[in-house]
Structure 1
Amino acid sequence: MHQDWQAFLDSQGARLGDDGAAHFDRAPAEPDCGVVDLSHLGLIAIGGPQATEFLQGQLSNDLRELTETHTQLSSHCSPKGRMLANFRVLRFEERFFLLLPRVQMETLLKRLRMFLLRAQASIDEVSDALVCFGLIGDCADDSLQHAFGALPSKPNAMVRAGDTALIRVADPVPRFLLIGPVDSARAAWEAARAAGAELANPDLWALRDIRAGLPTVLPETSDSFVPQMANMHLIDGVSFHKGCYTGQEVVARMQYLGKLKRRMYLARTRLDADAEPPAPGSVLSSADSTSEQSPGHVVDARRGVSGDCEMLVVAEIKAAEEGELRLGDDGPTLRISPPPYGFTAHA
């Protein structure tokens, strides 16, 4: 975290959590409008004359569709087609930026540098050079419009004010991701607070991602899911016409020749009041499964204000839709539902 940004958050009464982001002890669980420090996310910058060609051979999405007003979700896969990391990709001038959890940075940096070889491109970690925070709700729309003009109206759309970006994130309520230098981030944060936004914690951002059906690959689930298993093809995270990239053959074969046997669902269950939500990678069980492998795994989980534990799970389609899924071997039953975008293939 940039030291000036940390000093500003300290002045707001924050404490630094184990995830590297600011937490506020008295923050409401789900305010109607809130600001969330997202310093647990990091940034990788890729630039140079051959940056586009290099990344095009490594990412699951098509960089030719990326513009300075449109960001992408994407992933980097193993040769077996399983996601080692997933992230948001944005473009500032001649550089690309990958936004992902800091706990995944080392894995992705190591992999990308391994493939760099003699390409005329540079790969740099710039996590502390720019600030990242989120805004949830519409109370700050006027202040954002004053700074950025027209706000992005569609998911993944981006507007800029100088070297600061504002990105619309998929959600039934207005949700924005702001990335920029400390001074502009501080001004936007203060303007949002003056407009009525309450201080909120990073768990709220993760909960909104869960409800929107947006998966996050974490160390516990790295190299576990082919993109289609985590619905990446349904949220514009995979291109099937871009050509070769690492793992592309497996991903394409599943799309055109295979049958998808697992996919990602929303799930809810009731836990004891003092029980922690299941960790990413936690195993599911089902008496209806015929597979020798576990019938599913947790992608991410958080508690909602109702007291329910809400989660994303990748699970066998047959067990999820025709049978019963449980947490662990003898844990509570999960209530399964499709993500908000449904399971219709993206056009």
Structure 2
Amino acid sequence: MQSPWLLHLDQIGARFAEGGSGSVSFGDDARAETTRAANGTIVVPLTHLATLRASGEDASAFLHNLFSNDIKKLELHGAQWNSFNSPKGRMLASFLVWRDGNDYMLQLSADLLAAMHKKLGMYVLRSKVRLSDTTPDLAAIGLAGPAVATALDAAGLTLPPEAMSATQGAIQVVRVDPARVQVIAPIAQAADLWKKFAAAGAVPAGTAAWRCLDIRAGIPVITQSTQDEFVAQMLNFELIGGVSFQKGCYPGQEIVARTQYLGKLKKRMFLAHAETALAPAAGQDLYAPDFGDQSCGKIVQVAPAPGGGFDLLAVVQLSSRDADQVRIGSPDGDIIRFLPLPYTVS
């Protein structure tokens, strides 16, 4: 049976992509939706993301021993970026983590939900912790733009005071950056919230719009296409607060720490733009003259840019970035133009 939330989205014209990615649009081409995100306040069903709940008296210690950040320091009204890594230090999933009372909410790409639920469950053993999929119970709605506070107020909700902070209650608001929030609500209340946000001036938009905002904020999201490809620092994860170097061991910790302290990092993630008619794809190889026929990096995320072409996050060899001749798909493919990130990459 279709949930009332998905039924509501269907009734207002949402179109879901095939393949189980959860990506959604509202009938316009994706570029029209990213243009809306650049020019006003939007409301987005975050169906391309999914959330696991970790509950039980050992939940904090359990996650602390598995994730890259210091879960034990996550306060009741805080939020964190986190990663779960392979023993070789490669990111298997990226997470936005926040508290729901004593429980921990772990949001990741929807196409990784089933695999990560199973994988994390293998570590439970005798720990007093339960992992559950919140999809049947909760909906995530994104708000972005200058009128976010007004839209929240129309629904009787409060804007958290700063980025990476969250409210508590039956409906939670998680502020992911200065101009974006996620509203996490019971399924039965999601449609009513959507109507209130729209009545306050937030314009419906789809996954491409939210992904474009992630890209311009320099926030990577690991998907099936990029799983097990990158060490955390390659994705600037320590620069956005997703890695603690003071906590104890976790899978891949030795590799992450060695990368940090021995100065062996040769790749970094950069923001770029490609003026190409053919859409690039996450996981696609990049090439540069200094590496010849060998790949010099990969695309992490991509979305249509409001003014034409495509914006993307790309992990690239530092030498190739400095030469500024990086191309998509082959040594003679379309060139990408690097843009400044909102934070400093050294």
User: Hey, what does 1:311 align to over in structure 2?
Assistant: 312
| 2:153 counterpart SS class | helix
Deviation at 1:298, TM superposition (A): 0.3
User: Hey, what does 2:16 align to over in structure 1?
Assistant: 16
Counterpart of 2:164 (choices 153, 156, 162) is 156
Q: Structure 1's 280 and 130: CA in aligned 2 closer, same or farther, altered over 3 A? A: same
| 1:279 counterpart SS class | coil
TM-score (norm 2): 0.92
Q: Structure 1's 33 and 158: CA in aligned 2 closer, same or farther, altered over 3 A? A: same
User: Hey, what does 1:185 align to over in structure 2?
Assistant: 190
Letter in 2 for 1:321: D
The CA distance in 2 between the partners of 1:139 and 1:2, in whole Å, is 31
CA contact (8 A) 2:81 2:242 kept: yes
Deviation at 1:323, TM superposition (A): 4.2
Deviation at 1:146, TM superposition (A): 5.3
The CA distance in 1 between the partners of 2:294 and 2:67, in whole Å, is 28
CA contact (8 A) 1:9 1:22 kept: no
The CA distance in 2 between the partners of 1:197 and 1:149, in whole Å, is 15
Letter in 1 for 2:5: W
CA contact (8 A) 1:158 1:166 kept: yes
Task: Verify: 1:43 aligned to 2:43, yes or no.
Answer: no
Letter in 2 for 1:195: A
Q: Structure 1's 148 and 229: CA in aligned 2 closer, same or farther, altered over 3 A? A: farther
Letter in 2 for 1:269: A
Counterpart of 1:282 (choices 255, 278, 284) is 284
Task: Verify: 1:87 aligned to 2:87, yes or no.
Answer: no
Q: Structure 1's 136 and 258: CA in aligned 2 closer, same or farther, altered over 3 A? A: same
**Which deviations, in whole Å up to 9, do the C-alpha atoms of 1:203-225 show, x marking residues without a partner?**
00001000000001111211110
User: Hey, what does 1:342 align to over in structure 2?
Assistant: 344
Aligned pairs (5 A) from 1:1-347: 3-18=3-18, 19-26=21-28, 28-29=32-33, 30-31=35-36, 32-145=40-153, 147=155, 150-160=158-168, 162-170=169-177, 174-272=179-277, 275=278, 277-289=279-291, 294-329=295-330, 330-343=332-345
The CA distance in 2 between the partners of 1:188 and 1:181, in whole Å, is 10
Q: Percent identity?
A: 37
Q: How many residues align?
A: 337
The CA distance in 2 between the partners of 1:63 and 1:306, in whole Å, is 40
Q: Structure 1's 283 and 21: CA in aligned 2 closer, same or farther, altered over 3 A? A: closer
The CA distance in 1 between the partners of 2:148 and 2:47, in whole Å, is 20
Deviation at 1:107, TM superposition (A): 2.5
TM-score (norm 1): 0.92
Deviation at 1:293, TM superposition (A): 5.3
The CA distance in 2 between the partners of 1:295 and 1:341, in whole Å, is 23
Letter in 2 for 1:281: G
**Which deviations, in whole Å up to 9, do the C-alpha atoms of 1:307-327 show, x marking residues without a partner?**
121100000011102341111
Moved more, 146-155 or 192-201: 146-155
**Which deviations, in whole Å up to 9, do the C-alpha atoms of 1:126-164 show, x marking residues without a partner?**
22210011111133422413555641242211123x211
Letter in 2 for 1:3: S
Moved more, 103-112 or 10-19: 10-19
Q: Which runs of 5+ in 2 are unaligned?
A: none
